[in-house]
Amino acid sequence: AKVRHYKWEVKYELKSPDCYKKLAITINGRTPGPSIVAQQGDTIVVELKNSLLTENVAIHWHGIRQIGTPWMDGTEGVTQCPILPGDTFVYKFVVDRPGTYLYHAHYGMQREAGLYGSIRVLLPDGESEPFAYDYDRSIILTDWYHKSTYEQAVGLSSIPFVWVGEPESILIQGRGKFDCSKAGIIPEMCNATSPDCSPYTMTVVPGKTYRLRIGSLTALSALSFEIEGHNMTVVEADGHYVEPFVVKNLFIYSGETYSVLIKTNQSSTRNYWITAKIVGRNNTTPSGLAVLNYYPNHPKRIPPTPPPVGPQWDDLAPRLSQSLAIKSHRNFIHPPPQTSDRVIVMLNTQNNISGYRRWSVNNVSFNLPHTPYLIAYKHNLLHTFDQRPPPDDYASTEDIFSVAENANATTSNAAYRLQFNTTVDIILQNANTMTKNNSETHPWHLHGHDFWVLGYGRGKFDKINDPNKYNLVDPIMKNTVVVHPFGWTALRFRADNPGVWAFHCHIESHFYMGMGVVFEEGVDRVGKLPRSIMGCGDAKGYHRP
Ligand code: C2O
Ligand code: CU
């Protein structure tokens, strides 16, 4: 195994990823940032310099479990203090499993300002996947706002509440196209011919098989990804091999990664559209467009047909059926424990708390403490956050189909303490928002673990009958899973990774508004914490090296 060194400088730069000028957060001048490509077992060392001048930063390695290094998870407020402007922090961790992963900012809502990239972990020499391909490519999908994240964050935490709204553009590998001729657009701010916003083109050779690693790091949007005229065979999800199945369009939620195989077996006399369309929300954001360029056509040659329109935004059925179609590859099944030691039901609701618009789990809206949990638990600074355990369930009288009263919702920074080495089930229960007849889509992401996806259902989870329908035979393991509108999702994991781990909705504004929890497990087994993660809250006294 190798040690791979990266030296990154994080700073604001004016960019025009969708032709419209905005201050973006870049790594070494780029957004998306540099890709990390490594082999299973390698050690990644990232020397990160914060040159944002006035903002803190932290970077999370999404999908990497950080076994033995829980302090390197990069989650500000949970596993480390923020990296202050001017400071350098060294992340060092092992990538212990092959697959497709991501990295992104985990401080405030900085991720959506452009601080993200991909991690590709290859198999050791001599080993091969249960599928064959000629070329390997990565694509990250994001959505893009013209307002600064700072202005958005202020709006979300103001009375009256100012919602972030729908994104202006969808970016495919950091490129999109905003219509500069729109009314009210200052010409100096928008340059339709800027090279920053020429569409992403993926050049392919006819007659080959491509593995395309697709990750989504949208701030808000659920997407349908499609390549005109080409079916996709899904073979990997969040680093786990999938029993292959074919789709025309791939639904992908923020925080998920997939590998699909495509065959370049269409007419090589032309190029084809690649599209990313928002689903699950009624919106007017134009779909993201990129070009599949068949060699030797000119990469700038516009495909002769209109881009595929994609599925209806409000048609839930195909999204639910894709979720249900994802199973573990038959030769790589990790059977789940057949029973669990603890079941936590998590009702997802939108609430007003003291006049603020918030998201809650079992009527508790999450906020981060000043002293990161990992340091607080390890150094016995338990006075730094609420010690009353958050609830394992919600009141059975709650009606998930109507606008909730939730009059007694509160904000808290309490954590769930899990018995080390036990099996935990989480039932994510969706509900009506504060808008009549509306329920949203929430992709939940768990740090430090992969979980088995046991099942999905519509309506209210039935504790007696629904567990009988769990897939305990060949469920896929993932680190991010979607909860569909008015539905539930059941997952199971082993609390076997000593540390403190965030579990939250991957929608940037939802987590910011309280949609998350924290799990502590086996913290007594965590080794000595490095000084470099300290320096804030009650961990101030510990000096940085
Ligand atoms: Cu990719 Cu806590 O997030
Ligand atoms: Cu959400």
Q: How remote is the CA of residue 254 from the centroid of ligand 1, in Å?
A: 9
Closest approach atom of ligand 1 to CA 502: 2
Q: How remote is the CA of residue 272 from the centroid of ligand 1, in Å?
A: 33
**Bond preceding residue 160 cis, omega within 30 of 0:** yes
Closest approach atom of ligand 1 to CA 447: 2
What tens digit of pLDDT does each residue of 56-86 get? 999 999 999 999 999 999 999 999 999 999 9
What tens digit of pLDDT does each residue of 375-430 get? 999 999 999 999 999 999 999 888 999 997 777 899 999 999 999 999 999 999 99
**Residue of 150, 153, 144, 165 lying closest to 15 (CA atoms):** 144
Q: Is the CB of 510 under 6 A from ligand 1?
A: no
Q: Is the CB of 506 under 6 A from ligand 1?
A: yes
Return d(Cα 103, Cα 108) in angstroms, integer.
15
Q: Is the CB of 502 under 6 A from ligand 1?
A: yes
| Site of tokens 């579990």 | 503
**Residue of 97, 105, 94 lying closest to 32 (CA atoms):** 105
Return d(Cα 318, Cα 141) in angstroms, integer.
20
What tens digit of pLDDT does each residue of 2-57 get? 999 999 999 999 999 999 999 999 999 999 999 999 999 999 999 999 999 999 99
With a cut of 0.95, is the ipTM above it?
yes
Phi-psi region of 181 (alpha: psi -120 to 50; beta: other; left: phi over 0): alpha
Return d(Cα 269, Cα 303) in angstroms, integer.
10
Q: Is the pTM of this model over 0.95?
A: yes
Q: Is the CB of 494 under 6 A from ligand 1?
A: no
| Ligand nearest to the CA of residue 119, numbered in listed order | 1
Q: How remote is the CA of residue 206 from the centroid of ligand 1, in Å?
A: 37
SS3 string, 27-81, reads ECCECCCCCEEEECCCEEEEEEEECCCCCCECEEEECCCCCCCHHHCCCECCCEC
Instruction: Examine domains 128-325 and 333-539 and report if their fold is the same.
Output: yes
Mean per-residue pLDDT over the chain, rounded: 96
Q: How many residues are present in the chain? A: 545
User: Which CATH code of 2.40.128.110, 2.60.40.420, 2.30.29.30, 3.40.50.2000 fits the domain covering 128-325?
Assistant: 2.60.40.420
Domain map of the chain by residue range?
128-325, 333-539
What tens digit of pLDDT does each residue of 468-496 get? 999 999 999 999 999 999 999 999 999 99
CA angle, 504 as apex, 498 and 507 as ends, to 5°? 145
Q: Is the CB of 64 under 6 A from ligand 1?
A: no
Task: Count the neighbouring beta carbons within 10 Å of the beta carbon of residue 133.
Answer: 17
Closest approach atom of ligand 1 to CA 102: 1
| Ligand nearest to the CA of residue 480, numbered in listed order | 1
pLDDT over threshold 60, residue 463: yes
pLDDT at residue number 382: 96
Kindly state the tokens that stand for 217. 């790091």
| Ligand nearest to the CA of residue 510, numbered in listed order | 2
Q: Is the CB of 60 under 6 A from ligand 1?
A: yes
Mean pLDDT value of segment 108-131: 97
Q: Which residues contact 325 (CB under 8 A, 6 or more apart)?
A: 234, 245
Q: How remote is the CA of residue 85 from the centroid of ligand 1, in Å?
A: 22
pLDDT over threshold 70, residue 99: yes
SS3 string, 131-159, reads CCCCEEEEEEEEEECCCCHHHHHHHHCCC
CATH superfamily assigned to domain 333-539: Cupredoxins -  blue copper proteins (2.60.40.420)
